[in-house]
Chains A and B, each alone.
Chain A
Amino acid sequence: MTKEDCKKLVIDIISDIAPDEDLTAIKPEVKLRDQLQLDSMDFLDIVMELRKRHGIEVPEADYSHLASLESCAEYLTPKFAAKA
Chain B
Amino acid sequence: MAYDWLKGIEDHYDIVVIGSGLGGLTGANVLAKCGHKVLLLEHHYQLGGLATWFTRKGGHIFDISLHGFPIGMIKSVRKYWSQNIADSIVQLKGVRFINPQFSIDTTFDREDFTRQLVEKFKVAAGTVERFFTDLRAMNFYDSNPETTGQMFARYFPGRDDVQRLLMEPIAYANGSTLDDPAITFGIVFSNFMSKGVYTFQGGSDMLIRKMAAELKKNGVEVRKHVVVEKILTEDHAGRKRVAGVVANGRAIRCDTVLSNSNIKNTVLRLAGEESFSPEFVAQAKAVRVNSSSCQVYLGIRKGETLPHIGDLVFTSEEPVFSSEKLVDLHTTSRTFSMYYPDTRPGSDRYTVVVSINAKYEDWNAMTPEQYAAEKERLIEESIAALERHIPDVRAKIEWREAATPRTIEYYTRHWAGTSFGTKFEGLKVSMDLPAQLPGLYHAGSVGIIMSGWLGTINYGVIVANQIDKALAAKKRAAVPASA
Contact = CB atoms under 8 A, between A and B. Distances in A.
B242 interface: no
A48 B34 contact: yes
Interface in A11-25: 17
Contacts of B473: 57
Contact of B465 (A17, A47, A55): A47
Interface in A57-78: 57
Nearest to A16: B79
B130 interface: no
A1 interface: no
Given A17-B79, A48-B34, A41 B468 contact: no
A55 B475 CA distance: 11
Contact of A52 (B34, B76, B79): B34
Nearest to B30: A48
A51 interface: yes
Interface in B257-281: none
Interface in B358-406: none
A57 B462 contact: no
Given A51-B472, A52-B34, A57-B472, A44 B465 contact: yes
Contacts of A45: 79
Contacts of B465: 44, 47-48
Contacts of A57: 469, 472-473
Identify whether the interface residues of B are mostly helix, strand, loop, or mixed.
helix
B472 to A, nearest CB: 6
A41 B472 contact: no
Q: How large is the interface on A (under 10, 10 to 19, 20 to 34, 35 or more residues)?
A: 10 to 19
A64 to B, nearest CB: 14
Contacts of A48: 30, 34, 465, 468
A17 B143 CA distance: 31
B183 interface: no
Interface string A21-57: 0000000000000000000010011011001100101
Q: How large is the interface on B (under 10, 10 to 19, 20 to 34, 35 or more residues)?
A: 10 to 19
A43 B403 CA distance: 40
A35 B473 CA distance: 33
Q: Which of A41, A45, A52, A57 has the most CB of B within 10 A?
A: A41
Contacts of B34: 48, 52
Interface string B457-472: 0100110010011001
Contacts of B79: 17, 41, 45
Contact of B76 (A41, A47, A51, A55): A41
Given A48-B34, A52-B34, A41 B469 contact: no
B31 to A, nearest CB: 10
Contacts of A47: 465
Q: Which of B30, B35, B79, B476 has the most CB of A within 10 A?
A: B79
Contacts of B472: 51, 55, 57
A51 B462 contact: no
Interface string B429-470: 000000000000000000000000000001001100100110
B175 to A, nearest CB: 23
B469 A51 contact: yes
A39 B473 CA distance: 26
Nearest to A52: B34
Interface in B60-81: 75-76, 79
A44 B461 contact: yes
Contact of A44 (B35, B75, B462, B476): B462
Contacts of A41: 75-76, 79, 458, 461
Nearest to A45: B79
Contacts of B462: 44
A6 B76 CA distance: 26
Nearest to B458: A41
Q: Which of A44, A48, A55 has the most CB of B within 10 A?
A: A48
Nearest to A51: B472
A52 B465 CA distance: 11
A41 B458 CA distance: 7
Given A44-B461, A45-B79, 6 more contacts: A41-B461, A47-B465, A48-B34, A52-B35, A52-B468, A57-B473
16 contacts: A41-B76, A41-B458, A44-B462, A44-B465, A47-B465, A48-B34, A48-B468, A51-B469, A51-B472, A52-B34, A52-B35, A52-B468, A55-B472, A55-B476, A57-B469, A57-B472
Interface of A: 17, 41, 44-45, 47-48, 51-52, 55, 57
